[in-house]
Amino acid sequence: MREEKVKKVNWCNLHLKYTMVTAVLLLLLAKLGAQPNGNNYVYGKVTDKAGAPLIGVNITIELSQGFTGTATQNDGSYKLESLNMGSYKLKASYLGYKPFEVMVTVSNKEPTLCNIKLEDESFDIKDVQVTAKSTTTRIREQSYEVEAIATKGLENSVSDAKTILNNISGVRIAEDGGMGSNSTFSLNGFSGSQVKFFLDGIPMDNFGSSLGIGDLPVNMIKHIEVYKGVVPVWLGNDALGGAVNITTHNTANYLDISYAIGSFNTHRTSLNGARSWKNGFTIRGNFFYNYSDNNYKVYVVKGNGDTEKKWYPRFHDRYKSATGKLEMGVTNKKYADNLLVGFILTGNNKQQQTGATMAKVYGGVLSESQSLISTLKYNKKNLFTQGLDISFYGAYTHNKSHAVDTLRGTSYDWSGEAIITPGSNDGEIGDRTFTIFNIKELTGQFNASYSLGNHNKVSFNYAISDYHRSVSDSLNPENEYNFFPKDMQKQTLGLSYQYKWAQHHTTTIFTKHYNLKAQTSKRYDQFLANERIEKLANKRNNIGYGLASTFFVVPQLQLKASYEKAYRMPTPLEMFGNGLFVNPNPDLKPESSDNLNFSFDFTETIALNHRIKFGTGFLYRNAKDLIYAKISPGSPESSYANSLKIRFLGTEGNLQYNYKEWYHLSANITYQDITDRAKKVLIKQASGDYWQTNYSYGFRLPNRPYLFGNLNSGFSFKDWLKEDTNLTFDYFLNFTEQYYLTWVEMGTNNSKYIIPRQWSHDIQLSYSFQNGRYNLSAMCANLFDALLYDKYYLQKPGRAFNIKLRISL
């Protein structure tokens, strides 16, 4: 058995980096240990009459000179520290509740506990400006480069998580086609698995193809966080250049039902709700169903000898998926803020119209997937002692999927006509297959953080995933490739220290350790007499580190800077393939990148009615061994490989304007220059490997937009025609500059594959009754029926109409 040749690691440099980072952390911790840590502070929790925690309540204490204050956290808790001994007047204020005052006494013997219960207050608001920080605002004010989008105001739109994300600066989502099609998420030049996705902090890597961002309805989502470049330690994953955390609603008692119908026989149903009792017992549930024939027309060559382009409907592209999610347990208890057991059952069935390109069309290829996911979540703030926060999650996933290509000697053209080849035993792609994948994965993550006073915080994270895939093919049971293991284990260890000076400056330093162990197989000496498949082990260890800092020059102006030495391990799909269009590559190495970000944001409110926010960001990425999809324009198959060196340079800008509550405007633009910086490339052949001049050196990477932007403008009219109603109108514009499908230096000007400049226009009209209890909305996507392309010149749907009904209780 051939042993894998692994490049030797320069352990001296590795240990030196690790030692330097550890030394800095220990010095900082030592400094912290020398600081006094008395008990002269006031803490507690603020709730309403029913005992539900209140978020963002202003807590202040009057001092001899001025005052000090804070706001309650997500669990209603607060803490006021560094107080001198004595008596103080403590005040709590919150819109919609009666002001609260109480005298508290502070000593250094023990902390002062003061729990507060606020009473409702009804009153009219006339020309009053209310200033409070929302959850998304607090997220944006972190030292990390992060964008946060709340779904409030989007509940009536025919949107999903993918639609919301595609309107964020630096984000581009390339799709193969309509609903359920494969998509590639790109964030500031990084794409695919280089950006990690989380659902309430749980990695979505192996939830199954039926639980992707295009399947999650907007009514299920509370807000979305997009971390650019530097990823917080608490997410505990090997993201190379960013992460997306989708947070679902955790409201104590609600019910939200919606149904949407649209063009191409598209249907979307969503049911979301929760119920909490006084004893803390809580049930949360989500259900959604998606269906579409995706029979929109495409402008293509028919095939089968025909060379003229015509319009043909897609005839084998149906998609359907369903997901049920249930959590139950206790909340807001002394021993747990949340202790929830959950189950997710999800499945889909997808007909496959094309492969990686539209050069070939299929009429019998399909895939389907079912997943059962069991989850356990626990978190508690101030566990055992004030300032100690603990969280844990565990998930076990069992996914079963099929790759089906069973037609014998049959192929199709774009007219849907079957072409029979007598005597052929081949399927549409190659060898006929009915492949079954059984995937079992156990994931877990533990987070602990400890706050030492108001200024210092230490955090620790440990994450592990253990992945196992078995493969069988009933039409090819002797397939030697399926007899070898496909196992992967990843572990991530993180440690961070945060220093916060007043409300103006926050800096976080961190280090991460990545470990990968994989077992699979490899084909050796292909096309030679001794061609064979042998077992292969792939082991990797890497250490990353970084820093993130933010500073408020004035309350309206925030500056940010961050750096991370990041690593990402190959995914099972990249290393093992998928049995249909993605071929395996067991030799993949981890990606690495130096990520540097600078940005500023300015926010100002003028004369109470006008709110302006604008900002810009600059980024630099120096990536090595980047994993990318190798595509040939005429082939349906692809595989993943390491590219030696890529440089990313980019900038992005955004602008938001609001006039009162009845008009809003937002726009963003992104420019990114992604170029190949490897002067030599390694050519692998059966006769031997050799280095060759890289003729793509200095050229921009193909098939990636370099200039794109979005605009949204809308009006809102309250009490239109009737009291307690709201009429809204929104206009959306998406722009992408033309770019090349293949390397720009290849071919003549007449033979280059160019994806043209694209403009897409969408409009939406919504009307709400009884303060949002009943809602009706209509949307027209691609208003002018433009010919839109994505990914490998794959055409997206034309003009589409959708109507949505929604009830919120």
Q: How many CB atoms lie within 10 A of CB 473?
A: 18
Q: In the predicted model, is pLDDT for residue 124 greater than 50?
A: no
Highest mean pLDDT among 76-80, 343-347, 702-706, 737-741: 343-347
| Two structure tokens written together for 458 | 């230490």
Q: How many CA atoms lie within 13 A of 570 on its CB side?
A: 32
- Taking only the tens place, the pLDDT of each residue in 428-454 is 988 888 888 899 999 999 999 999 877
Top-confidence residue, 430 or 1: 430
pLDDT-derived band at 57 (thresholds 50, 70, 90) equals: confident
CATH T-level assignment (fold) for domain 40-117: Immunoglobulin-like (2.60.40)
- The rounded distance, in Å, linking the Cα atoms of 144 and 549 is 7
CATH fold match for the domains 40-117 and 135-808: no
User: In this predicted structure, which of 4-8, 79-83, 444-448, 667-671 has the lowest mean pLDDT?
Assistant: 4-8
- Taking only the tens place, the pLDDT of each residue in 535-556 is 888 888 999 999 999 998 888 8
CB 567 within 8 A of CB 533: no
- Taking only the tens place, the pLDDT of each residue in 235-254 is 878 888 888 998 888 777 88
Within 8 A by CB and 6+ apart from 512, the residues are 233, 492, 493, 494, 543, 544, 545, 567
- The rounded distance, in Å, linking the Cα atoms of 602 and 373 is 43
Highest mean pLDDT among 25-39, 48-62, 363-377, 514-528: 363-377
Give CA separation, 178 vs 129, 158, 171, 298, 732, in Å.
Answer: 44, 14, 19, 12, 19
Q: In the predicted model, is pLDDT for residue 183 greater than 60?
A: yes
- The rounded distance, in Å, linking the Cα atoms of 428 and 340 is 46
The whole-number average pLDDT for the span 12-30 is: 43
Residue pointed to by tokens 């193909």: 702
Residue 133 has what pLDDT?
A: 54
- The rounded distance, in Å, linking the Cα atoms of 481 and 477 is 10
- The neighbouring-strand residues paired with 366 are 351, 404
Residue pointed to by tokens 């082991």: 539
Residue 632 has what pLDDT?
A: 59
The whole-number average pLDDT for the span 683-687 is: 64
pLDDT-derived band at 455 (thresholds 50, 70, 90) equals: confident
Residue pointed to by tokens 């001899």: 64
Residue 18 has what pLDDT?
A: 43
pLDDT-derived band at 79 (thresholds 50, 70, 90) equals: confident
- The rounded distance, in Å, linking the Cα atoms of 193 and 570 is 8
CB 569 within 8 A of CB 238: yes
CB 29 within 8 A of CB 22: no
Q: Are strands 116-117 and 58-62 parallel, antiparallel or unpaired?
A: unpaired
CATH number of this structure's domain 135-808: 2.40.170.20
Give CA separation, 550 vs 147, 506, 590, in Å.
Answer: 14, 5, 30
Listed residue (575, 372, 366, 581) closest to 484, CA to CA: 575
- The rounded distance, in Å, linking the Cα atoms of 351 and 14 is 48
The whole-number average pLDDT for the span 598-627 is: 90
- The rounded distance, in Å, linking the Cα atoms of 764 and 60 is 44
Listed residue (596, 704, 732) closest to 164, CA to CA: 732
Q: In the predicted model, is pLDDT for residue 699 greater than 70?
A: yes
Q: In the predicted model, is pLDDT for residue 317 greater than 70?
A: yes
- The rounded distance, in Å, linking the Cα atoms of 108 and 113 is 13
Give CA separation, 116 vs 47, 59, 439, 720, in Å.
Answer: 6, 10, 49, 40
Residue 730 has what pLDDT?
A: 94
Give CA separation, 747 vs 275, 517, 794, in Å.
Answer: 63, 42, 21
List the Cα angle 264/270/274 in 5-degree steps: 175
pLDDT-derived band at 633 (thresholds 50, 70, 90) equals: low
Give domain limits for the chain. 40-117, 135-808
The whole-number average pLDDT for the span 361-373 is: 92
- Taking only the tens place, the pLDDT of each residue in 579-590 is 666 777 888 889
Percent of the chain with pLDDT over 70: 88
The whole-number average pLDDT for the span 350-374 is: 89
pLDDT-derived band at 461 (thresholds 50, 70, 90) equals: very high
- The neighbouring-strand residues paired with 267 are 261, 291
Residue 175 has what pLDDT?
A: 83
- Is residue 152 packed enough to be buried (19+ CB in 10 Å), middle (13-18) or exposed (0-12)? exposed
CB 390 within 8 A of CB 358: no
Residue 749 has what pLDDT?
A: 57
Residue 266 has what pLDDT?
A: 96
Q: In the predicted model, is pLDDT for residue 270 greater than 90?
A: yes
Helix (H) or strand (E) holding 665: strand 663-676
Helix (H) or strand (E) holding 282: strand 281-292
Q: In the predicted model, is pLDDT for residue 758 greater than 60?
A: yes
Listed residue (505, 499, 494) closest to 451, CA to CA: 499
- Taking only the tens place, the pLDDT of each residue in 215-224 is 888 888 888 8
77: left (phi over 0), alpha (psi -120 to 50) or beta: beta
The count of residues in the chain is 809
**Mean pLDDT estimate for the chain:** 84
pLDDT-derived band at 693 (thresholds 50, 70, 90) equals: confident
- Rg of the chain on CA atoms, in Å: 28
Listed residue (395, 41, 417, 463) closest to 243, CA to CA: 463
- The rounded distance, in Å, linking the Cα atoms of 364 and 236 is 41
